[in-house]
Amino acid sequence: MTPVPQSVSLRGVEKRFGDTVAVAAVDLEVRPGELMVLVGPSGCGKSTLLRLVAGLEEASAGEVWIGGRCVDDVPPGDRDVAMVFQSYALYPHMTVAQNLGFGLRVRGARRAEIETRVGEVATVLGLSGLLSRRPGQLSGGQRQRVALGRAMVRDPGVFLFDEPLSNLDAGLRLRTRDEIAALHRRLGTTMIFVTHDQVEALSLGERVAVMDRGRVLQVGTPNEIYRSPGDLFVAGFVGSPAINRLTLMRDGGGHLAGGPFRLAGDWPFDDATLAVRPEDLTLNAPHADFEAAVIRVEVLGSEQRVHLDGPDDAAWVARVPPTLRVAAGEGIGVSVAWERAHLFGPDGRRAGSAPRPD
């Protein structure tokens, strides 16, 4: 089993369905052997992008390259890719072994070769004891592994996963996610994985591409996406609880002001958004930036989430250690880790880190 990992390159790719622009001028480079996750809200175009790579949709503009060749005129079966769908799409009347071998059989592979290959893949995926069962006699997780195995038997250069975990319950979802990560480490094959779940994206992706309304807004490692969002949408989409925000307006002195804050500087815009991660707030520290009322305390065991009334009219959340003594109804001093706070301009693009206020 030595698939050659392939690069995938999207160059100015656009897809329109009538008046709907599903994918708008996307440039994306997936490196050979990389696990890239496409994440974004429902309808942002991620499945369409994957289907364009697979050849199940034809681009309205732009080019798709796989392994250094333009595949725009190459049919899906000859693109060296294999796709795993959310719905598994297993044949119910066939055994696991027949399902696994189906792709090879239709390509005219010899029986002995099919048996060897199916045996290898079943061993890797822990399906050896289930080869004579039918899909109806398998658990959801086992079916998912058969779907995965069916993609693997062909040794594709690129695996494409379209929300393959969304039909699984929470526990199985986590285990299958680990299995896919382990499989990626073992095979070293290029994988593109689509999900709407930002936690899944950060946990699985070597790099993550965040999409919104047909566009790729940012591509980066999970840490880059989380710590250095280039865009307010990315900052808000990734992270739970969501990043805290406050609108700032330019005052007479050219400063950006909002609530208790006044940020000095020569700002090129009239309004901006200050954004601070919940873990970048400290409660009860010696030098508070503002005072807020505690609305509610969520005790999660490993941490507490403290819901605050403020700054100004904003509802902010602080993530604090479980040992901090804090109760609803009290007033509390809040300080901001300014070196990790972000400022976004009116166009939503990151304008820089927020300077410590005057």
Is 81 within 8 Å of 66 (Cβ atoms)? yes
What is the nearest approach in angstroms of ligand ATP to the Cβ of residue 10? 14
Instruction: Give the number of residues in contact with ligand ATP, rule: CB under 6 A.
Output: 12
List helix spans (H) across the chain.
46-54, 96-106, 111-125, 140-152, 170-187, 198-204, 222-227, 232-237
Q: Return the number of the residue (98 or 166) whose C-beta is nearest ligand ATP.
A: 166
What is the nearest approach in angstroms of ligand ATP to the Cβ of residue 64? 15
Bond prior to 311 in cis (omega within 30° of 0): yes
Q: Return the number of the residue (40 or 135) whose C-beta is nearest ligand ATP.
A: 40
46 near ligand ATP, rule: CB under 6 A: yes
318 near ligand ATP, rule: CB under 6 A: no
Which of 5, 40, 101, 157: binder of ligand ATP (CB under 6 A)?
40
Q: Which two tokens stand for residue 284?
A: 């009860």
CA 181, 30, 62, 233 torsion: positive or negative? positive
Query: Which whole-number Å values give the CA distances from 148 to 19, 41, 205, 274, in the listed order?
Result: 35, 25, 18, 43
Query: Which whole-number Å values give the CA distances from 310 to 246, 272, 307, 355, in the listed order?
Result: 9, 18, 9, 20
196 near ligand ATP, rule: CB under 6 A: yes
Contact window for ligand ATP (CB under 6 A) among 37-45, 239-247, 271-279, 304-312:
37-45
Binders of ligand ATP among residues 246 to 285 (CB under 6 A) are none
d(CA 320, CA 304): 5
- Taking residues 3 to 22 in sequence order and writing x for each that binds ligand ATP by CB under 6 A, - otherwise, the string is --------------x--x-x
Contact window for ligand ATP (CB under 6 A) among 44-52, 88-96, 234-242, 278-286:
44-52
- Taking residues 140 to 179 in sequence order and writing x for each that binds ligand ATP by CB under 6 A, - otherwise, the string is ----------------------------------------
Q: Return the number of the residue (42 or 323) whose C-beta is nearest ligand ATP.
A: 42
Q: Which amino acid is at 174?
A: L
Q: Which two tokens stand for residue 156?
A: 């594709």
Positions touching ligand ATP (CB under 6 A) are 17, 20, 22, 40, 42-48, 196
